């Protein structure tokens, strides 16, 4: 079966064996967030090791987006602590998140359509000459290098973002995060908006990032095939709480789906 195949793939990568050795990059402890009477997050813990891909799954309203927003600096938690390299951090703005090396690639593909790939890759931190003029030549050069190195497969960094396909856009958004030497990448539904072939390409792209091993990824996805193909670990949220954490190699899709819906529909799995 397909699950078995992807499982053996992860095991072959040696991710389970290395689990104990890997250094924790980002950790969240006891994070809570209230919206009026609604508890979006109830004291959740999460940790992400170097080069690791952790999948965060859960039904709509489980608190995934709230946690991503907190890690991105869009909202602040009511309680709990975030740590980067064991140092406590306070992410009070998206800019701060970037400075800390935490990059997010959002569901709606955060590119500026009217600008070209190079401008999008350097969005918000355009290189300058004499501290005044944007160094367009350097931008083009470094953007081309990054696109080639990451094998995004784009013909030209001068192409407008609006002329890219969904998968190319996703790849450019990820390349931007890597170009910023981000250490943690939050991928929010990276394939949800894509066709089958495009989605496939993005999965291959993320696999290459994993093989590269320099960046840790928190993957938020409804797509169980993606989760089992890419992730080392799966964390399940339900109604604002973390209900389970499993190594991909030691679980099954049935179990995870059961955990997501709370065992109501697949009583056999628990």
Partner 1 sequence: MNKTDAVQPAAFDDSVSRGNLFLSRVLREFGLTAVTIAVFAFFSIYAQYFFGLDNVYDIARVSTYTLIVGVPTTYLFIAGEFDLSIGPNFALCNVCMALAILNHDLNPWVAAGIAVLLGTGIGAVNGFVTTVIGVPSFIVTLGMLSVLSGLALVLTAGAAVNYPDNLESSFFTVTNGVIGGLNNLPVSILWGLAAVIIGAWVLRYTRFGYHVYATGGNPRAARAAGISTRGVKFWCFVLTGASCGVVGALQGGWLRQGDPVGGSDFTLLVVAAVIIGGVALTGGEGSVYGTLLGAWIIGMLYNGFILLGVQSYWNQFFIGLVIVLVASGELALKRRDDLGEFIRSSRRRLSRRLVPQAFAGRSARRQKGGPASS
Question: Which residues are at the interface with partner 1 (CB under 8 A)?
Answer: 72, 93-95, 98, 104, 106, 108, 110-115, 119, 123-126, 128, 132-134, 136, 151-154, 159-160, 162-168, 171, 176, 197-198, 201-202, 204-205, 208
Strands 53-58 and 233-238: parallel
If the CB atoms of residues 62 and 175 are measured against partner 1, the closer one turns out to be 175
Give the Å distances, CA to CA, from 188 to 57, 96, 207, 212, 222. Answer: 11, 19, 16, 20, 10
Q: For 135-267, list the strands marked E by DSSP.
A: 184-188, 216-220, 233-238, 241-247
What's 162's DSSP letter?
G
If the CB atoms of residues 61 and 166 are measured against partner 1, the closer one turns out to be 166
Are the CB atoms for 189 and 181 separated by under 8 Å? no
Tokens 């890690």 belong to residue: 71
If the CB atoms of residues 64 and 201 are measured against partner 1, the closer one turns out to be 201
If the CB atoms of residues 136 and 246 are measured against partner 1, the closer one turns out to be 136
Distance between CA 113 and CA 120 in Å, rounded?
9
Are the CB atoms for 66 and 75 separated by under 8 Å? yes
If the CB atoms of residues 87 and 108 are measured against partner 1, the closer one turns out to be 108
Tokens encoding 152: 């995004």
């Amino acid at each position: 079966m397909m699950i078995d195949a992807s499982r053996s793939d992860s095991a072959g990568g040696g991710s389970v064996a290395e689990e104990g050795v890997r250094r924790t990059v980002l950790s969240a402890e006891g994070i809570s967030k209230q919206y009026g009477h609604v508890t979006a997050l109830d004291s959740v813990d999460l940790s992400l090791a170097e080069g690791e891909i952790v999948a965060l799954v859960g039904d709509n309203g489980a608190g995934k987006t709230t946690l991503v927003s907190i890690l991105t600096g869009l909202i602040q938690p009511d309680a709990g602590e975030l740590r980067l390299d064991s140092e406590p951090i306070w992410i009070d703005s998206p800019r701060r998140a970037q400075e800390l090396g935490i990059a997010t690639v959002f569901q709606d593909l955060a590119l500026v359509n009217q600008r070209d790939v190079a401008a999008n890759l350097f969005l918000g931190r355009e290189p300058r000459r004499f501290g005044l003029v944007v160094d367009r030549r350097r931008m083009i050069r470094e953007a081309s290098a990054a696109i080639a190195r990451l094998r995004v497969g784009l013909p030209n960094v001068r192409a407008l973002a609006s002329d890219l396909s969904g998968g190319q856009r996703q790849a450019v958004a990820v390349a931007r995060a890597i170009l910023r030497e981000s250490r943690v990448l939050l991928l929010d539904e990276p394939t949800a908006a894509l066709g089958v072939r495009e989605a496939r390409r993005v999965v291959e792209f993320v696999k290459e990032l994993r093989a590269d091993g320099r960046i840790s990824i928190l993957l938020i996805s409804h797509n169980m095939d993606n989760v089992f193909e890419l992730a080392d670990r799966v964390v399940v949220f339900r109604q604002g709480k973390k209900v389970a954490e499993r190594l991909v190699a030691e679980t099954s899709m049935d179990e995870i789906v059961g955990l997501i819906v709370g065992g109501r529909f697949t009583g056999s799995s628990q």
